[in-house]
């Protein structure tokens, strides 16, 4: 009997083992096949070249940061050379070092109290900035030195780019001067720099440096003095000539300095102070940050068809910020293609190798993407299906809002959401590519709605146009609120007094200006305008839609209130009551029901679904 029971147990055990194996085997056999996208299939076929590693992303952000430019520009414009600065640097030691610099430079470097004050001011307030600038110089200075050597321009003029733009090719002054060498539009055109909707060669380090070198050579032929060349670069040769006349015919910068514009009076001393800090940084404990990539580690390839930075980044597995750094002259993050005009793309050498080895596949992918663009967002209003309708094409409008941050432009925002710049301007009634800091932009993305026949499309477009016109009217009405307002910090100011003066809060001021503490420097420019309201008044839009002859048919075709749903992102200070008031006919109970909210608690940044 015992033997029989044991036999039964053994049989059951083996049966269970076999069953488990069958199940496992079945699981393996029915494993679904994973489909890959066309982009992935193209990249999987690429020949790989692992010659160099990708540039460090933190360093890329450093290269395109504008904070040093803003701070250094304010210093040069507001610094008082007559005010003594308390910083440990013996005057006699400084005189010896300046004399040593003068002995190996074509510039007339002489000690004076104003120059000592600027050097000490930079040492006291800008040590960290110069440490970062020295990392940038490892990328840019070889470009400058090569161009200057061709024209017999003193190599020391490379330090002028630090004073002009803090080595940032995207720097733009309040007067519109652009690029590393801060060319005005007219001067850029005069020196054959191309400026159009796609390209601004004032931001191209190579071409702008060649133009600056040519300008310096011409000015030296006129004045015969390199300090006066620098002064003319800042204020124009006319102001230098007038200063020479007013000084009684003197031709030394230091003799005519008081007759020059105020900014130019501090310009050459700031240049000499910058040269001193680069020459003697070790003696002052300034440790340069190291550049991860040098200019000679990059190369160029001529582009045969228009392509966007996003397409290039996707194909080559590299960040768009890196492409933007290496190709700053392309304004819209697109490399254009004009018949008969060569356009070049600069990339790290390992990425150039990948690009050239797979060029045909890359252009095939770009052409495929161009042919398969989605319909314009204006066609994306939902229309309910009809019986016996023709095959449907599906798109949908998913409305989002984006608040413009420091350093943003339409190109970067469009790339972030994979939309067209033209559509972005149309959705937000923008006439130019300029966009105010803090403004909220409307973003529409295409996902799953149904567009039927041409008559329905025409009616939908009419409704959309009326809506857009109404929104534009509301925007125009509140135009004063859509532009950021700036305030220059005066003596005695603090964040609390400024917030009170402009009816805002300290927290908002810190957020708008990316401040990490409550300390603000004298002369610093702060953005004080509040952010633009993210929800547009709906009364004007509703009126416009109601006046459309197509609205009744549109409402009949809507299958339910859910078809008209939109997302709302909770802002600081919001409550369910205040949000419900933004949407006519919507109650607190509706919002809680649609979003499964039980206790009524909401937090900033939370996404709420608003139906109907």
The DSSP line for 111-171 is --HHHHHHHHHHHHH-HHHHHHHHHHHHHHHHHHHHHHHHHT--GGGGGHHHHHHTT-TT-
Determine, yes or no, domain membership for 596: yes
Determine, yes or no, domain membership for 224: yes
Determine, yes or no, domain membership for 289: no
Q: Which of 228, 259, 284 is the last residue of a domain?
A: 284
Residues 6 or more apart whose Cβ sits within 8 Å of residue 336: 198, 199, 306, 330, 343
pLDDT of the residue at 243:
94
* Secondary structure of 492-518 as H, E, C letters: CCCHHHHHHHCCCCHHHHHHHCCCCCC
Q: Are residues 278 and 160 in the same domain?
A: yes
**Tokens coding 371:** 């042919």
pLDDT of the residue at 274:
94
pLDDT of the residue at 584:
73
Q: Are residues 419 and 555 in the same domain?
A: yes
Q: Is the dihedral of CA 221, 223, 229, 234 positive or negative?
A: negative
Per the structure, the count of domains in the chain is: 6
pLDDT of the residue at 460:
43
Determine, yes or no, domain membership for 192: no
pLDDT of the residue at 9:
45
Q: Are residues 73 and 214 in the same domain?
A: yes
Q: Are residues 231 and 98 in the same domain?
A: yes
Determine, yes or no, domain membership for 38: no
Q: Are residues 344 and 384 in the same domain?
A: no
Determine, yes or no, domain membership for 193: no
Q: Are residues 147 and 203 in the same domain?
A: yes
pLDDT-flagged residues of the chain (< 50):
1-6, 9-10, 12-31, 33-34, 49-64, 374-397, 446-483, 530-563
Q: Are residues 336 and 452 in the same domain?
A: no
Residues 6 or more apart whose Cβ sits within 8 Å of residue 513: 406, 526, 527
Q: What is the pLDDT of residues 149-177, one digit of tens each?
A: 999 999 999 999 999 998 888 888 888 89
Q: What pTM did the predictor assign? A: 0.53
Q: Which of 257, 284, 311 is the last residue of a domain?
A: 284
Q: Where are the beta strands (DSSP E) in 437-504?
A: 440-446, 450-451, 486-488
pLDDT of the residue at 317:
86
Q: Are residues 518 and 419 in the same domain?
A: no
Q: Are residues 212 and 151 in the same domain?
A: yes
Q: Are residues 307 and 261 in the same domain?
A: no
Contact 230, 254 (CB under 8 A): no
Beta bridge partners of 402: 441
Determine, yes or no, domain membership for 176: yes
CATH code of the domain covering residue 564: 3.10.350.10
Q: Are residues 410 and 440 in the same domain?
A: yes
pLDDT of the residue at 526:
81
CATH code of the domain covering residue 94: 1.10.530.10
Q: Are residues 215 and 251 in the same domain?
A: yes
Determine, yes or no, domain membership for 191: no
Q: Which of 358, 373, 388 is the last residue of a domain?
A: 373
CA 258 to chain centre: 39
User: What residue numbers bound the domain in which 579 lies?
Assistant: 560-612
């Amino acid at each position: 009997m015992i033997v029989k029971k044991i036999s039964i147990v053994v049989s059951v055990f083996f049966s269970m083992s076999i069953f488990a194996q069958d199940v496992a085997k079945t699981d393996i056999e029915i494993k679904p096949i994973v489909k890959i996208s066309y982009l992935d299939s193209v990249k999987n076929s690429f020949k790989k070249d692992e010659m160099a590693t990708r540039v460090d992303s933190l360093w890329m952000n450093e290269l395109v940061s504008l904070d040093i430019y803003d701070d250094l520009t304010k210093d040069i414009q507001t610094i008082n050379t007559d005010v003594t600065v308390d910083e440990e640097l013996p005057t006699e030691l400084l005189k010896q070092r300046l004399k040593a610099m003068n002995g190996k430079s074509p510039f007339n470097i002489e000690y004076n109290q104003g120059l000592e004050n600027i050097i000490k001011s930079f040492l006291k307030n800008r040590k960290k900035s110069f440490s970062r600038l020295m990392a940038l110089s490892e990328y840019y200075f070889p470009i400058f030195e090569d161009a200057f050597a061709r024209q017999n321009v003193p190599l020391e003029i490379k330090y002028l780019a630090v004073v002009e733009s803090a080595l940032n090719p995207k720097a733009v002054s309040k007067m519109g001067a652009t690029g590393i060498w801060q060319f005005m539009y007219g001067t850029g055109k005069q020196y054959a720099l191309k400026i159009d909707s796609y390209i601004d060669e004032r931001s191209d380090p190579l071409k702008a440096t060649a133009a600056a070198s040519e300008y310096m050579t011409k000015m030296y032929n006129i004045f015969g003095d390199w300090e006066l060349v620098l002064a003319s670069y800042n204020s124009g040769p006319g102001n230098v000539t007038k200063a020479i006349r007013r000084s009684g015919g003197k031709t030394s910068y230091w003799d005519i300095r008081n007759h020059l514009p105020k900014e130019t009076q501090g310009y050459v001393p700031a240049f000499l102070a910058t040269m001193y800090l680069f020459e003697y940084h070790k003696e002052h404990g300034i440790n340069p940050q190291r550049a991860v990539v040098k200019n000679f580690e990059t190369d160029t390839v001529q582009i045969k068809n228009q392509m966007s930075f996003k397409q290039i980044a996707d194909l080559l597995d590299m960040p768009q910020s890196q492409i933007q750094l290496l190709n700053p002259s392309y304004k819209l993050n697109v490399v254009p293609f004009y018949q008969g005009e060569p356009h070049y793309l600069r990339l790290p050498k390992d990425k150039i190798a990948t690009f050239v080895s797979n060029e045909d596949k890359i252009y095939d992918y770009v052409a495929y993407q161009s042919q398969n663009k989605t319909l314009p967002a204006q066609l994306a209003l939902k229309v309910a299906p009809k019986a016996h309708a023709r095959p449907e094409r599906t798109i949908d409008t998913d409305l989002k809002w984006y608040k413009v941050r420091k350093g943003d432009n339409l190109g970067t925002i469009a790339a972030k959401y994979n939309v067209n710049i033209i559509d972005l301007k149309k959705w937000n009634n923008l006439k130019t590519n300029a966009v105010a800091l803090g403004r909220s932009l409307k973003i529409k993305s295409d996902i799953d709605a149904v567009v039927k026949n041409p008559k329905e499309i025409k009616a939908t477009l009419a409704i959309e146009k009326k809506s857009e016109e109404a929104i534009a009217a509301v925007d125009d009405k509140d135009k004063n609120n859509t532009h950021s307002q700036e305030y220059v910090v005066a003596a005695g100011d603090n964040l609390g007094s400024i917030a009170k003066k402009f009816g805002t809060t300290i927290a908002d001021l810190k957020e708008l200006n990316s401040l990490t503490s409550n300390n603000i420097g004298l002369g610093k420019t702060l953005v004080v305008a509040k952010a633009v309201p993210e929800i547009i008044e709906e009364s004007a839009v509703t009126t416009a839609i109601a006046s459309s002859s197509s609205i009744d048919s549109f409402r009949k075709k809507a299958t339910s209130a859910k078809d008209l749903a939109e997302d709302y992102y909770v802002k600081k200070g919001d409550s369910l009551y205040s949000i419900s008031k933004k949407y006519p006919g919507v109650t607190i109970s509706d919002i809680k029901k649609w979003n499964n909210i039980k206790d009524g608690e909401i937090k900033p940044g939370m996404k709420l679904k608003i139906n109907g």
